[in-house]
Chain A
Amino acid sequence: MMTEVLIALAVIWAGIAFLLFRIDRKLTALEKRINE
């Protein structure tokens, strides 16, 4: 039973990590453009 709760939590944090990763990718692209 607790396993399902932990799986749900892992899914939620994977989604949030994905959003943060997207921001990181945008910032990296910006950094590159500024340095060019």
Chain B
Amino acid sequence: MKTIRLLFFIIMLVLMPVVFYMALVWVPPAMGLGEASRILYFHVPVAWSSVLAFIMSGYYSIRYLSGNDRRHELFAYNAAYMGLVYSVLTVITGSIWAHISWNMYWNWDPRETSAVILLLIYVAYFSLYSSLQNRETRGRISAVYLIIAAVVMPFFVFIIPRIYMSLHPDVVFNTAKKSGLELSMKITLIASMAAFTMLYFFILGLMNRTSVLKKIVEEKQNDD
């Protein structure tokens, strides 16, 4: 396990500067958008990480409900916490890009709106979690909430922005199956998504290990 963790860390450490070089220097700027198009290589992976957080928190919640292991409740909380931070980053970087492309920070574009709704779903989860006092009830109710959130998420991310007219470029999961990106752009975007996914799991791993340590210390202190 230690070796896998070290290997994972080394790959991430090498990949991150490579992605920065590719995104800021190697890849040509997109036609029409100029140098500002480079935001794509950071905004999309951050948005992807917030989606990943939904999946992970749903996964840990299912594990918690099926096994009743309290560690999974803490892991789901950590995944959702990261999702909240990444959703905020997605909205901020998206609005910076919107300002460059459409000369407005906010347009109520379907994808922008769905990003805010996802953010609100996380905010509601933390309100719910902190409002429940009983540990057992809190664990179960918040786990059910996160599973529902994970099920609803694809509709907001992948379906609603396609039903309504959108200003947003449909780059990665587009219906026409054409991204309109040059090969170098595709390679950079994929590399960046890989690097940010690794970073997400690295930070989530740190948070989870800290939570487990905290739980052990608390249990030992209660026994004494």
Contacts and interface: CB of A to CB of B under 8 A. Distances in A.
Given A12-B93, A18-B85, A23 B217 contact: no
Contacts of B123: none
Instruction: Specify the main secondary structure of chain A where it touches its partner.
Output: helix
A7 B210 CA distance: 31
Contact of B36 (A4, A19, A27, A30): A4
Interface stretch (B55-63, B154-162, B167-175, B199-207): B199-207
Contact of B89 (A1, A15, A20, A26): A15
A4 B100 contact: yes
Interface in A1-32: 1-2, 4-5, 7-9, 11-12, 15-16, 18-20, 22-23, 26-27, 30
Interface string B183-224: 000000000000000010001001100110110010001000
Instruction: Specify the main secondary structure of chain B where it touches its partner.
Output: helix
A26 B221 CA distance: 17
A31 to B, nearest CB: 10
Interface string B27-62: 000000011101100110010000000000000000
B96 interface: yes
Given A12-B89, A15-B85, A23-B206, A5 B199 contact: no
Interface residues of B, number: 30
B100 A1 contact: yes
**Interface residue range, chain A:** 20 to 34
B80 interface: no
B82 A30 contact: no
A27 B207 CA distance: 10
B86 A15 contact: yes
Given A4-B99, A23-B207, A12 B213 contact: no
Contacts of B39: 4-5, 8
A22 B84 CA distance: 14
Nearest to A25: B210
Interface string B60-90: 0000000000000000000000100110110
B97 interface: yes
- 10 smallest CB-CB distances across A and B, nearest first, come from A1-B35, A8-B93, A15-B89, A1-B36, A5-B38, A2-B35, A26-B210, A8-B96, A8-B39, A1-B34
